[in-house]
């Protein structure tokens, strides 16, 4: 180190010392800071006293509060027995966390009071907390030996830390070595948290006939996604019966239900996340309630009144479990692997995939393909494109058959028009219809043969309609202009609340929805021209066909952009297939083949026979009506 460097360090040291010396607080400033700290401490102490007084005021008569301390303590002892000391205390927060979840517990009530999922954010990029202490409450009614009711939510618990860093015991002291423990254990890398209730020496403290606790659990469902109206459709209270069935209260409006059968679990479900309380031995008969609210940031209020078993001797703990995590099908389904069928949780039913056949299509086809593609492709927009191509490839034979049916009807149109000219007017409608059906039958064409393939495609289309809005994998995944494929992709938005429009259409316009509707209009026009068979149509039918795509704009504008993107791509591929069929199928050869069919002995299908029988019955009915009118 040379001389200049040493000199520089010395000068820097002198400057730092001088700066510290001239900026140190004076004696008056130090004293002012001390007075400020003392005042803050006194204020916090006063707030704690006020909170204790509020608690006492809610549970004790006014005359008890007015007593001197010694008399009041005696009255508390008389009223609450061993729980008297737990009536006062400071409400503090204690936490557990792992790689996935951070949870907190309140000393008042000893309950779970906060839950945050570390790997997720809200729609506006804030930490995703499912609830805080103002939005959840769990209470257990304790019946004392003197037949007094004490609510655990009014009592103060003491935290006890053991050797397991992933475990926390919230202890309710009842005097003389007696206590009630709420034991929480959060394993590493898990969304499930064990919740065990166990008593020690509570004989003489609780009623001797205690075999269960009445439990009340409340929680407010926060708005976590963009688009309140859309998230409302997927927010509900779910529950599983011990017999195995999973049911839920209504997603729209208020609902309540009294369930006499024991329950395995109760879930307060948002669109993509749930808080589930699971009972190993089951909950008793329960009253379930959900109320829709209009509070900013809150979707619903959930409440459950039920009961749980409790061993007063302390030999068998009450085993509960919380699931606090995403509604991810693969994760929830994995909890039942290797579990006997009668013991399975079926938590994957929290993911709404449709009923019966639609759920089966999603479970055994759509989700496995979607998950497989997700392992190798990071862009979910590209995954949806590939999934759409795969589905359209599988449905190609049905699409081709539908088009061929339409083409047969189209090449026979000149002959149908001749029949229309031969039997004009409403009075000859039956003859006209009979001649037309006979033409189709002899040529080997059928109006229904084009509808059946379309109907066979519907289960897959409905299954995909259920899958995309509930796929949490699309959450916060961007593609092209859409920043989040799990919600709408607004290109125009406004704040003004417009009657009916804001409720059913939303305060925005989604671009993928616009594109989907535009392609459907093109397909409708193209398809109407190709499917014109020359038969008379109902008045207004053409206008109605164009109205249907426009109605999709109202219905789908608030739906997930991933769903609209799928329908846009799917319809675009259908248009491309139709154009391909139109220019590759030789309709002259097709007509020649149909003419050859006329020369063959006519074989009537079961449908055609039933149709002719129906026509004959209708003709007989019309003939009878004419005869009756003549005889009058």
The span from the CA of 548 to the CA of 127, in Å, is 41
At 493 the pLDDT is: 80
At 77 the pLDDT is: 63
Q: Is residue 294 scored above 90 in pLDDT? A: no
Round the average pLDDT of the chain to a whole number and report it.
81
User: What is the per-residue burial (b if ≥16 Cβ within 10 Å, else e) of 561-589?
Assistant: bbbbbbbbbbbbbbbebbeebeeeeeeee
Q: Is residue 538 scored above 60 in pLDDT? A: no
Q: Is residue 274 scored above 90 in pLDDT? A: yes
At 191 the pLDDT is: 97
pTM assigned to the model: 0.77
At 16 the pLDDT is: 47
* Residue pair 477/380 in contact by the 8 Å Cβ criterion: yes
Q: How confident is the model at residue 556 (pLDDT cuts 50, 70, 90)?
A: confident
Lowest model confidence (mean pLDDT) among 92-101, 345-354, 532-541, 582-591? 532-541
Percent of the chain with pLDDT over 90: 45
**Owner of token pair 């269960």:** 212
At 481 the pLDDT is: 92
At 213 the pLDDT is: 95
Lowest model confidence (mean pLDDT) among 87-91, 200-204, 410-414, 559-563? 410-414
Q: How confident is the model at residue 403 (pLDDT cuts 50, 70, 90)?
A: confident
Sequential DSSP letters for 275-333: EEEEEEEEE-SEEEEEEE--STTEEEEEEEEEEEE--TTSSS-EEEEEEEEE--HHHHH
Q: How confident is the model at residue 52 (pLDDT cuts 50, 70, 90)?
A: very low
Q: Is residue 321 scored above 50 in pLDDT? A: yes
Percent of the chain with pLDDT over 70: 75
CATH code for the domain defined by 91-352? 2.70.98.90
The span from the CA of 216 to the CA of 314, in Å, is 22
What are the boundaries of each domain within the chain? 41-90, 91-352, 359-600, 604-632
Q: Is residue 99 scored above 50 in pLDDT? A: yes
At 74 the pLDDT is: 59
More confident residue, 611 or 89: 89
At 43 the pLDDT is: 43
At 325 the pLDDT is: 96
Sequential DSSP letters for 206-272: B-TT--EEEEEEEEEEE--SS-HHHHHTT-EEEEEETTS-EEE--SSS-EEEEE-S-EEEEEEE-SS
The per-residue pLDDT for range 463-504, each reduced to its tens digit, is: 999 999 999 999 999 999 999 999 988 888 877 777 777 777
User: What is the per-residue burial (b if ≥16 Cβ within 10 Å, else e) of 12-50?
Assistant: eeeeeeeeeeeeeeeeeeeeeeeeeeeeeeeeeeeeeee
At 427 the pLDDT is: 67
At 515 the pLDDT is: 93
Q: Is residue 547 scored above 50 in pLDDT? A: yes
At 603 the pLDDT is: 57
Q: Is residue 45 scored above 60 in pLDDT? A: no
Q: In a 3-state reduction of DSSP, which class is residue 548?
A: helix
**Owner of token pair 């509070």:** 295
More confident residue, 395 or 77: 395
At 30 the pLDDT is: 53
* Residue pair 206/82 in contact by the 8 Å Cβ criterion: no
Helices (H), 178-239: 228-232
At 8 the pLDDT is: 52
At 608 the pLDDT is: 56
Q: CB 274: neighbour CB atoms within 10 A?
A: 22
* Residue pair 103/193 in contact by the 8 Å Cβ criterion: yes
Lowest model confidence (mean pLDDT) among 86-95, 342-351, 389-398, 431-440? 431-440
At 413 the pLDDT is: 75
The per-residue pLDDT for range 503-523, each reduced to its tens digit, is: 777 788 899 999 998 998 888
* Residue pair 218/136 in contact by the 8 Å Cβ criterion: yes
The span from the CA of 182 to the CA of 200, in Å, is 12
At 41 the pLDDT is: 45
Q: Secondary structure of the chain: what % helix, strand, coil (to 5)?
A: 50, 25, 30
């Amino acid at each position: 180190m040379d001389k200049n460097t040493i000199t520089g360090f010395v000068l820097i040291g002198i400057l730092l010392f001088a700066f510290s010396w001239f900026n140190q607080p004076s004696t008056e400033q130090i004293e002012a800071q001390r007075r400020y700290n003392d005042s803050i401490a006194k204020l916090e102490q006063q707030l704690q006293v006020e909170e204790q007084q509020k608690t006492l005021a809610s549970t004790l008569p006014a005359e008890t509060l007015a007593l001197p301390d010694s008399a009041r303590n005696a009255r508390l002892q008389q009223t609450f027995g061993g729980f008297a000391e737990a009536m006062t205390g400071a409400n503090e927060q204690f936490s557990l966390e792992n790689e996935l979840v951070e949870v907190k517990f309140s000393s008042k009530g000893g309950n779970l009071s906060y839950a945050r999922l570390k790997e997720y954010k809200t729609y506006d990029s804030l930490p995703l907390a499912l609830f805080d202490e103002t939005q959840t409450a769990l209470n257990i009614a304790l019946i004392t030996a003197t037949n007094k009711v004490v609510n655990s939510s009014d009592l103060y618990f003491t935290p006890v830390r053991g050797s397991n860093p992933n475990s926390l015991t919230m202890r309710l002291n009842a005097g003389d070595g007696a206590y009630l423990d709420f034991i929480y254990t959060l394993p590493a890398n898990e969304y499930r948290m064990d919740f065990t209730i166990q008593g020690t020496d509570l004989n003489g403290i609780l009623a001797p006939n205690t075999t269960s606790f009445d439990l009340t659990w409340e929680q407010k469902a926060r708005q976590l996604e963009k688009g309140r109206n859309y998230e409302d459709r997927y927010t509900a209270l779910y529950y599983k019966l011990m017999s195995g069935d999973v049911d839920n209260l209504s997603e729209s409006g208020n609902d309540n239900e009294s369930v006499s059968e024991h329950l395995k679990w109760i879930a307060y479900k948002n669109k993509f996340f749930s808080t589930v309380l699971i009972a190993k031995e089951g909950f008793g008969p329960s009253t379930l309630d959900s109320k829709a609210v209009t509070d900013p940031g809150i979707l619903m209020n959930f409440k459950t009144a039920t009961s749980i078993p409790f061993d007063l001797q302390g030999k068998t703990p009450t085993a509960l479990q919380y699931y606090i995590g995403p509604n991810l099908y693969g994760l929830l389904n994995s909890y039942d692997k290797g579990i006997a069928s009668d013991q399975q949780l079926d938590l994957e039913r929290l993911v709404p995939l449709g009923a019966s056949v639609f759920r089966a299509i999603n479970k055994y086809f759509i989700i496995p393909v979607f998950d497989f593609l997700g392992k190798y492709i990071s862009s979910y927009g590209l995954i949806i494109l590939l999934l759409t191509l795969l589905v359209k490839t599988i449905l190609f034979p049905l699409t081709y058959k539908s088009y061929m049916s339409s083409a047969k009807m189209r090449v026979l149109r000149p002959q149908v028009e001749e029949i229309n000219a031969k039997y004009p007017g409403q009075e000859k409608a039956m003859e006209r219809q009979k001649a037309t059906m006979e033409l189709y039958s002899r040529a080997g064409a059928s109006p229904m043969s084009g509808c059946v393939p379309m109907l066979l495609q519907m289960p897959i289309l409905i299954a995909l309609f259920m899958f995309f809005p509930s796929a949490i994998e699309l959450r916060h995944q961007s593609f092209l202009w859409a920043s989040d494929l799990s919600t709408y992709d607004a290109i125009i938005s406004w704040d003004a609340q417009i009657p009916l429009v804001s409720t059913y259409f939303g305060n925005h316009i989604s671009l993928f929805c616009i594109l989907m509707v535009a392609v459907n209009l093109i397909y409708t026009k193209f398809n109407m021209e190709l499917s014109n068979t020359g038969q008379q149509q109902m008045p207004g039918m053409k206008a109605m066909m164009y109205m249907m795509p426009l109605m999709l704009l109202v219905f789908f504008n608030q739906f997930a952009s991933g769903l609209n993107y799928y329908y846009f791509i799917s319809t675009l591929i259908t248009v491309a297939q139709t154009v391909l069929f139109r220019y590759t199928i030789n309709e002259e050869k097709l007509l020649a083949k149909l003419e050859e069919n006329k020369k063959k002995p006519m074989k009537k299908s079961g449908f055609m026979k039933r149709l002719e029988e129906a026509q004959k019955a209708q003709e007989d009915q019309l003939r009878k009506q004419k005869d009756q009118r003549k005889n009058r």
